[in-house]
Amino acid sequence: MKYLILILLTFTSVFAQLSKTAELIGVAKLDEAVALENIKQNTNAQNKIIKEKKSTILAGILSAALPGAGEIYNENYLKAALFFAAEVAAVSVDVIYNRKGDDQTAFFEDYAQKHWSVARYALWTITNLQTLNPSLDPNNYQGLFEDANKTKVNWNVLNKLESDIGGYYSHRLAHFGEQQYYEMIGKYPQFNPGWDDFGDEHTPYKYGDPITEHYKYYSGLRGKANNFYYIADTAVIVVIINHILSAIDAIWTSAKYNRRLKARVSLEKQTIGYGYVLFPKLNLSLNF
């Protein structure tokens, strides 16, 4: 487009001079100098148009990297402020609620360590094995405990025992400290006997029996932590959407800005001595 306009300007200049040769002053060098100067001025004007145009690619990249940056490049400062404010707000929510989730997670994990015991759960399970699954022999799981006081559990034997029982023992307890460990003990009633307000290994229990108050309270603690993380995850989605929308808006705005720049070519008469020459003039306007 740049070269097309330049060719048009040159052609118009030459055509105007050729068609009005009888009206020139007749001094060849002077006429040539005027024509060349007119072409030079209009070339500079054309370069000004190219320079003033906004790069849609650059605008999009800027806003994709930092919402509002492309809008600043497009000189749309209100939109820039809005996109940037949305970015700050969403990032702040993400940071705040991730911290809340971490604090809540630390709280419910500490609560679990104080009130839930894998040894208590394993002891109740092996003691009631014949009720849970009459086909199993408790003597096949002698290695379930690693100490005489039955406070240390062999996780491999425990997981095998859970698998063999089947039925409502639908899950194998994840190893201590894992995320699934803390989730399972407050999500599946099979782990109810591990809570310290359940009773002892002789307390009767079936899957449909009421769960303990500690179980219920712990489940609520976990739910609250999950809610915090959900809000934080939603904020991250908002951040991503804000980047995308800002980039699209910056591209659209720069394209719209470029369409506002209009070039208009007209013929202007300039008097030289007792004659005159016609030369093309490029008028620029920026419509708001």
188-207 tens-digit pLDDT: 999 999 999 999 999 999 88
Residue 87 maps to a domain: no
Residue 102 maps to a domain: no
If asked whether residues 43 and 155 sit together in one domain, one would say no
If asked whether residues 41 and 118 sit together in one domain, one would say no
If asked whether residues 247 and 135 sit together in one domain, one would say no
If asked whether residues 229 and 270 sit together in one domain, one would say no
If asked whether residues 160 and 177 sit together in one domain, one would say yes
d(CA 187, CA 255): 54
Does the structure show a pLDDT above 80 at 60? yes
Backbone torsions φ then ψ of 202, nearest 5 degrees: -100, 0
Do residues 160 and 142 touch, judged by C-beta distance below 8 A? no
Residue 105 maps to a domain: no
Residue 108 maps to a domain: no
Q: Which residue has the higher pLDDT, 170 or 28?
A: 170
If asked whether residues 246 and 217 sit together in one domain, one would say no
Residue 216 maps to a domain: yes
Q: Which residue has the higher pLDDT, 1 or 123?
A: 123
If asked whether residues 231 and 248 sit together in one domain, one would say no
Residue 89 maps to a domain: no
Do residues 150 and 123 touch, judged by C-beta distance below 8 A? yes
Does the structure show a pLDDT above 80 at 274? no
d(CA 23, CA 275): 6
If asked whether residues 56 and 71 sit together in one domain, one would say yes
Torsion sign (Cα): 253, 256, 260, 263: positive
If asked whether residues 74 and 118 sit together in one domain, one would say no
User: Which ranges of the chain would DSSP assign to H, the alpha helix?
Assistant: 2-19, 28-52, 56-65, 69-73, 77-115, 118-127, 129-132, 155-165, 179-184, 213-260
Most confident range, picked from 26-30, 233-237, 258-262: 233-237
| pLDDT at 132 (0 to 100) | 94
| pLDDT at 208 (0 to 100) | 77
Residue 186 maps to a domain: yes
If asked whether residues 42 and 142 sit together in one domain, one would say no
What is the pLDDT of the chain when averaged over all its residues? 81
The answer for residues whose C-beta is within 8 angstroms of residue 65's C-beta and 6 or more apart is none
If asked whether residues 219 and 259 sit together in one domain, one would say no
- What residue type is assigned to position 165 of the chain? I
Residue 230 maps to a domain: yes
Q: State the total domains in the chain.
A: 2
pLDDT digits (tens, 9 = 90+) for 104-150: 999 999 999 999 999 999 999 999 999 999 999 999 999 999 999 99
If asked whether residues 197 and 278 sit together in one domain, one would say no
Q: How confident is the model at residue 40 (pLDDT cuts 50, 70, 90)?
A: low
Q: Which residue has the higher pLDDT, 120 or 31?
A: 120
Q: How confident is the model at residue 258 (pLDDT cuts 50, 70, 90)?
A: confident
Per the structure, the complete domain to which residue 183 belongs is given by: 114-235
